[in-house]
Amino acid sequence: MVKASGTARDEVVRSRPDLASAMGERRLHLAALDAVVSGWVGPLRCGLVSRDGVPVLRVVSTVDESQWMDVDCERVGGVWWFLRVGCGEGLVPVGEVADAPAVLLRVVERRAGGAAGSGAGR
């Protein structure tokens, strides 16, 4: 399992301001989430997709690929959060990115129970 901490991510932002500047904080946070989910040993996979011209991270269940959700990243009240696209549900603050895969899995599974076959991201 890949462990990434908010502290490590923040250190990259401080030590590589050119990277944060070139990518933008939002995309940098989404890339960190992508790396953590991709390295997680669990039934999720993810990848960047464009939604209305804006890059977001699509998280898909490997058990049932019809179950997915799109995740964005926004600053809310001075704190960066990963949010579910479409409803704005706060998933996890970016500083807790290491905990995100388990949270994402719970949300995808919860959505699957209520909207089977419809795609959790819709």
As a whole number, the mean pLDDT across the chain is 81
Tens of pLDDT, residues 51-90? 888 899 999 999 999 999 999 999 999 999 999 999 999 9
Identity at 118, one-letter amino acid code: S
Q: Tokens 């995100």 — which residue?
A: 100
Q: What is the DSSP string of 72-106?
A: EEEEETTEEEEEETTT--EEEEGGGGGGHHHHHHH
Q: Quickly count: other Cβ atoms within 10 Å of residue 111's Cβ.
A: 20
